[in-house]
A and B are shown apart, each in its own frame.
Chain A
Amino acid sequence: MSEQDLTVPRPLPATSADTADEPGAAARVLGAPSLVAQDVHVTYRVVGSRGRERGAKSGGGRRARLRRLMDRGREHTGGVTEVHAVRGVSFVARRGESIAILGTNGSGKSTLLRALAGLQPMSQGSVYVDGVPSLLGVNAVLMKKLSGERNIVIGGLALGLTRAEIDAKLDEIVEFAGIGDAVYLPMSALSSGMAARLRFAISTARVPEVLMIDEALATGDAAFRQRSKERIEQIREAAGTIFFVSHSLAAVRSMCTRAIWLDKGVVRMDGDVDTVADAYRDHIKADKREARRARRAKLGEEEWQRRRQARRARREARRSAEAAESR
Chain B
Amino acid sequence: MGAAAPAALSTGVMSPQDAARIAAENGLQPIGVRPSLRGYLRALRQRRQFTHVLASSKAYAENQGTYLGQLWSILTPTMNALVYVMIFGLLLKTNRGVENVIGFIVVGVFVYRLFDEGVNTAGRSIPTNGNLVRALQFPRVVLPTAGIFSKYLGQLPSMLVMLAFVLLSRFVPRNVPVPVSWRWLLLPVAILLLLGFTLGVGYVFARICAGVPDLLNFFPFVFRILMYASGVIFPINHYVHNAALERVLEYQPVALYLDLARQSVLHEPSIPLMWSKWLLALAWSVGVLLVGFVFFWRAEARYGRE
Contacts and interface: CB of A to CB of B under 8 A. Distances in A.
A48 B127 CA distance: 14
Given A14-B11, A90-B11, A118-B32, A143 B61 contact: yes
A47 B213 contact: yes
A305 interface: no
B2 A30 contact: yes
Interface in B183-226: 213
Contacts of B13: 90
Contact of A118 (B5, B31, B61, B302): B31
A16 B12 CA distance: 7
Nearest to A137: B135
A317 B11 CA distance: 52
Contact of B26 (A32, A120, A163): A32
Given A20-B3, A126-B19, A121 B302 contact: yes
A325 B260 CA distance: 83
Contacts of B3: 20, 25-26
B31 A163 contact: no
Interface in A126-157: 126-133, 135, 137, 139-143, 145-146, 150, 153-155, 157
Contacts of A25: 1-3
Given A45-B305, A46-B306, A146-B60, A128 B12 contact: no
B120 to A, nearest CB: 19
B65 interface: yes
A37 B28 CA distance: 11
Query: How many A residues touch the partner, as a band?
Result: 35 or more
B46 interface: yes
Contact of B11 (A16, A26, A145): A16
A126 B23 CA distance: 11
Interface stretch (B49-57, B170-178, B262-270): B49-57
Given A140-B136, A146-B64, A128 B131 contact: no
Interface in A23-38: 25-26, 28, 30, 32-38
B283 to A, nearest CB: 34
A19 interface: yes
A75 interface: no
A277 interface: no
B53 A157 contact: yes
B304 A119 contact: yes
B301 interface: yes
Contacts of B131: 139-142
Nearest to B60: A146
B246 interface: no
A192 interface: no
B210 to A, nearest CB: 11
A327 to B, nearest CB: 52
A198 interface: no
The listed residue with most A CB atoms (<10 A of its CB), out of B65, B135, B137, B213, is: B135
Given A16-B12, A140-B131, A121 B304 contact: yes
A37 B11 CA distance: 10
A20 B5 contact: yes
Contact of B136 (A26, A45, A158): A158
Contacts of A117: 31, 137
A141 B12 CA distance: 36
Interface string A208-239: 00000000000000000000000000000000
11 contacts: A16-B12, A25-B1, A33-B28, A36-B19, A36-B23, A92-B5, A126-B16, A132-B137, A133-B137, A139-B131, A154-B53
Interface of A: 14, 16, 18-20, 25-26, 28, 30, 32-39, 44-48, 90-92, 114-122, 126-133, 135, 137, 139-143, 145-146, 150, 153-155, 157-160, 162-163, 186, 188, 203, 260, 267, 270
5 nearest CB pairs, A to B: A128-B23, A38-B19, A128-B28, A157-B50, A140-B135
Interface of B: 1-3, 5, 8-16, 18-20, 22-23, 26-33, 46-47, 49-50, 53-54, 57-58, 60-61, 64-65, 131-138, 213, 301-306
